[in-house]
Structure 1
Amino acid sequence: MSVRDTSVPDPEVFAEEWEAWHRDKDARLASEHGFLSITGLHWLSAEPQTFPGVPGAWSTGPDGVVVELDEGEELVVDGVTVRGRHLFGVIPERGGVDAVRGDTVIEVAKRGGNDIVRPRHPGHPLRTAFAGTPAYAPDPRWVVTGRYEAFAEPRPTTVGASVEGLKHVYDAPGRVVFALDGQELSLTAFNGHTPGSLTVLFTDATSGVTTYAANRNLGVAAPGPDGTVVLDFNRATNLPCAYTDFATCPLPPAENRLPVAVEAGERIPHERLAQR
């Protein structure tokens, strides 16, 4: 493997920092109401429906999501106790509201233009049995320096999802260009979680072999003044759909299928290996 790298950090310090980052990532995944606590993915329609472990009858329409609670049932929404009929209103794409009953959080959200309900129970076996995410040993060789090339205008980019038939649309502000194994490669980038940062979804030659088949995610810090970016593939992570079927994760754009084996970052979760 040949990876262009501008600096070689101390391997021991590098490994310690990676271990701390990975423990934190897994802790958030397995937090009390994290993705591993989700027990169902329910799609709302105009017809009221009831769901296991969730109070009330749920529906959606032009005015947004509505729940009709039976006598004696209640939920806490934004710190306020609600009873009877409660209108959540129109939820924006990729937005969500939490309704709480006891130790259960009921996520009310919109994904791919569809209103959904996802209950999160701390006692869900997927969460309580979680033993951490397997990953390649951290290696500074997989820290790659590249450049960011902004598009003239953000490009609306439609991608598939882990749920068949669902589509996501993101604005792609540009792409990152870098070299691996002597090849110049590029990845279409989406906006990250902090201002100026980027996120890339990708697959590579390890996908479906040692890493999750559908996607992996890599966060990239904001480019430098000259467009320089650093891609640390050791921090390539699984999305929630790698662990649970109750996620609606986006798939990478077609152009983000790397022809090389990125033997770094998170591997197929134990939970998926057990289903093979």
Structure 2
Amino acid sequence: MTVTDTFAEEWTAWHEEHERRRADKHGFLAITSIRWLGEEPETYDDVPGAWSIGPEGIVVSLAPGESLVVDGTEITGRHSFGVIDERGGITAGFGDAVVEIAKRGGNDILRPRHPDNPVLVGYRGTEAYPPDPKWALPGRFVAYETPVPTTVGSVVDGLEHVYEAVGEIEFTVGDAVHSLIAFPGSAPGALHVLFVDQTSGKTTYAANRSLSVAAPDAEGNVVIDFNRATNLPCAYTDHATCPLPPAGNRLPVAVEAGEKLP
């Protein structure tokens, strides 16, 4: 087996697992609506209860016969979920569905997730460019002295997100050196990059692409593998609040790697 064959096999296994998680019965493809909560209680047709916000955070008032399950405990009547931190969230269950109770861009929101949502039921996978080792590029992470609060836009008009940029990843395509601003990743020391390039809006999603990068070594060396660039939820549903890339993360090259338009 050649190095290219091994590379392709590893990518295929990774992408199949990514697709499995994306198509989870309570994943973002199952979201049926996004509700922006206010001080006046409101009811909705895809989640039990009347929902509002106040000094004690997000509150639900459940009518007789209605209930939610939170951390294995059934709740009825009036229940406060407290003040939720930015990008935090709680999940509550009802029947075969769940509701995400969260804060995004300073707003308290609900996102019910139903396994029979047509977006999920009809999902048949996402096409991607064939994996190619030439797009697994060596790079160097240059850390900032201190993290830099960075405001980025959102696919929702008027909504903004603030992330702490921790440095930049420098890499070469052809004869040109490029750099991408990096945020902290999900694993300790890992990095997360949002970017667009010359394929965006043509063969790939226009608003953004997402890429995880493993933690740099002691010298700051990384591998930025564009074959593993993925779509964020906003590529599939209107009920997303995905961030846009920082202004500096617009590559003047066509990165023909990773997932394509759904």
Q: Tell me the equivalent position of 2:67.
A: 74
What's the CA shift string for 1:6-39, capped at 9, x where partnerless? xxx7111111111111111011011010010000
Within a 5 Å distance, the mapping from 1:57-136 to structure 2 comes to 57-136=50-129
Structure 1 segments (4+ residues) deviating >6 Å = none
Partners of 1:191 and 1:213 lie apart in 2 by 23
Partners of 1:164 and 1:158 lie apart in 2 by 14
TM-score (structure 1 length as normaliser): 0.93
| SS of residue matched to 2:137 | strand
Alignment of 1:213 onto 2:206: yes
1:161 to 154, 163, 166: 154
Alpha-carbon offset, residue 171 of structure 1? 0.5
Identity of aligned residues (%): 61
What's the CA shift string for 1:42-72, capped at 9, x where partnerless? 0000011111221110001221000011111
Within a 5 Å distance, the mapping from 1:176-191 to structure 2 comes to 176-191=169-184
Within a 5 Å distance, the mapping from 1:25-36 to structure 2 comes to 25-36=18-29
Structure 2 gaps of 5+ residues are none
| SS of residue matched to 1:169 | strand
| SS of residue matched to 1:141 | helix
Contact persistence 1:181–1:260 (CA under 8 A): no
The worse-fitting range, judged by mean Cα deviation, of 193-202 and 73-82 is 73-82
What's the CA shift string for 1:145-196, capped at 9, x where partnerless? 0100000110000000111111000001111000112110000000000000
Q: Tell me the equivalent position of 1:273.
A: none
| SS of residue matched to 2:248 | helix
| SS of residue matched to 1:45 | coil
Contact persistence 1:158–1:170 (CA under 8 A): yes
Partners of 2:86 and 2:5 lie apart in 1 by 43
Q: Tell me the equivalent position of 2:247.
A: 254
Q: Tell me the equivalent position of 1:174.
A: 167
Alignment of 1:245 onto 2:238: yes
Partners of 2:123 and 2:15 lie apart in 1 by 14
2:223 to 230, 234, 237: 230
Alignment of 1:37 onto 2:35: no
Q: Tell me the equivalent position of 1:199.
A: 192
Alignment of 1:11 onto 2:4: yes
Partners of 1:72 and 1:34 lie apart in 2 by 27
> Aligned-pair RMSD on alpha carbons?
0.8
AA aligned opposite 1:104: A
| SS of residue matched to 2:20 | helix
2:39 to 32, 46, 49: 46
AA aligned opposite 1:146: G
| SS of residue matched to 1:256 | coil
What's the CA shift string for 1:107-136, capped at 9, x where partnerless? 100000100000000011111111111110
| SS of residue matched to 1:40 | coil
What's the CA shift string for 1:208-232, capped at 9, x where partnerless? 0000000001100000111101000
- Paired positions, count: 261
Contact persistence 1:41–1:118 (CA under 8 A): yes
Alignment of 1:144 onto 2:157: no
What's the CA shift string for 1:194-214, capped at 9, x where partnerless? 000000000000000000000
Structure 1 gaps of 5+ residues are 1-8, 270-276
